[in-house]
């Protein structure tokens, strides 16, 4: 009797195994089951994702390098300027090679001019440094907005394919044909939203990092002008 139940259980398990295997769906299968239109949009979204990730990390490392600053930098500049050793101050700025040192070097090169001219020169140099920091960040913002729209385009195409199949078959379309259009709609929407969210979060993080460097440059410019205003 026990052998009978064991045999019956094994047969049931064998019958259920194909069903379980049929329900298993990998991510790659999900992405590639949406038809040609869906596959093209998925490829475009993957390219946008690669570009977004590359820009994010490239800018992140660049901004981190730009934010590094010796805490004793301005004190050394103050000492050199007070002693009239302008060349040593310029050499110190060249050794640091940061946006803050570039602004300071621009101000040092204008020593002897009116303070208004020095301030204008520093502001112009600051705009150039900010432009360098924000290089390609706008592309990240564009991807953050465009990726979900491309995903929604896939949604529309998928639904059009599904309803076209219904229309041409007089309402008797096969479920497989309808599923292909629905796959196209769902997979492209999810992929577009994922790429858009990643790009949006990366963009905002870079903006915060850039704002910190800009604030650092503004504080340095004020400190340098205060050095020039100090009584001899």
In this predicted structure, the answer to whether residue 32 has a pLDDT above a threshold of 70 is no
Most confident of 34-48, 81-95, 148-162, 187-201: 187-201
Is position 12 within any domain? no
Is position 20 within any domain? no
Give the chain's domain count: 1
Q: How far is Cα 147 from Cα 46, in angstroms, rounded to an integer?
A: 10
Burial track 120-140 (b if 16+ CB lie within 10 A, e otherwise): ebbeebbeebeeebeeebebb
111 DSSP β-pair partners = 113
Structural domain containing residue 101: 36-226
Is position 58 within any domain? yes
Two structure tokens written together for 11:
């047969």
Query: Which of 186 and 126 is assigned the larger pLDDT?
Result: 126
Residues 61-75: tens digit of each pLDDT: 988 888 887 777 788
Is position 9 within any domain? no
**pTM for this prediction:** 0.74
Is position 212 within any domain? yes
The reported pLDDT for the residue numbered 180 is 58
What mean pLDDT do residues 180-205 have? Answer: 84
Is position 102 within any domain? yes
The reported pLDDT for the residue numbered 162 is 66
Is position 26 within any domain? no
In this predicted structure, the answer to whether residue 19 has a pLDDT above a threshold of 60 is no
In this predicted structure, the answer to whether residue 142 has a pLDDT above a threshold of 90 is yes
Is position 30 within any domain? no
pLDDT band, residue 165 (cuts 50/70/90): low
Residues 79-133: tens digit of each pLDDT: 887 777 888 888 888 888 788 888 888 888 888 778 888 888 888 888 888 888 8
What's the helix, strand, coil split of the chain in %, to 5?
85, 0, 15
Query: Which of 108 and 146 is assigned the larger pLDDT?
Result: 146
Residue 21 Cα to chain centre, angstroms: 38
With residue 59 as reference, give the H or E element that holds it. helix 35-67
In this predicted structure, the answer to whether residue 4 has a pLDDT above a threshold of 50 is no
The reported pLDDT for the residue numbered 7 is 53
């Amino acid at each position: 009797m026990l052998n009978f139940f064991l045999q019956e259980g094994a047969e049931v398990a064998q019958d259920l195994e194909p069903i379980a295997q049929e329900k298993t769906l990998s991510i790659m299968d999900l992405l590639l089951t949406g038809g040609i239109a869906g596959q093209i949009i998925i490829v475009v979204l993957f390219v946008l994702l690669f570009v977004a990730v590359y820009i994010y990390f490239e800018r992140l490392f660049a901004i981190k390098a730009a934010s590094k600053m010796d805490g004793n930098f301005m004190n050394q500049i103050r000492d050199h300027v007070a002693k009239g050793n302008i060349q040593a101050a310029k050499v110190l700025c060249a050794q640091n090679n940061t946006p803050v040192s570039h602004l300071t070097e621009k101000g040092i090169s204008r020593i002897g001019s009116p303070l208004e001219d020095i301030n204008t020169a520093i502001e112009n140099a600051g705009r150039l440094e900010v432009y360098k920091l924000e290089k390609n960040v706008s592309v990240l913002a564009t991807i953050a907005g465009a990726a979900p729209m491309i995903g929604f385009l896939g949604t529309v195409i998928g639904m059009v394919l599904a309803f076209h199949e219904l229309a041409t078959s007089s309402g008797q379309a096969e479920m497989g044909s309808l599923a292909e259009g629905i796959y196209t709609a769902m997979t492209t929407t999810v992929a577009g939203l994922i790429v858009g969210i990643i790009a949006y979060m990366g963009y905002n993080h870079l903006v915060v990092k850039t704002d910190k460097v800009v604030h650092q440059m503004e504080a340095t410019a004020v400190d340098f002008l205060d050095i020039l205003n100090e009584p001899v």
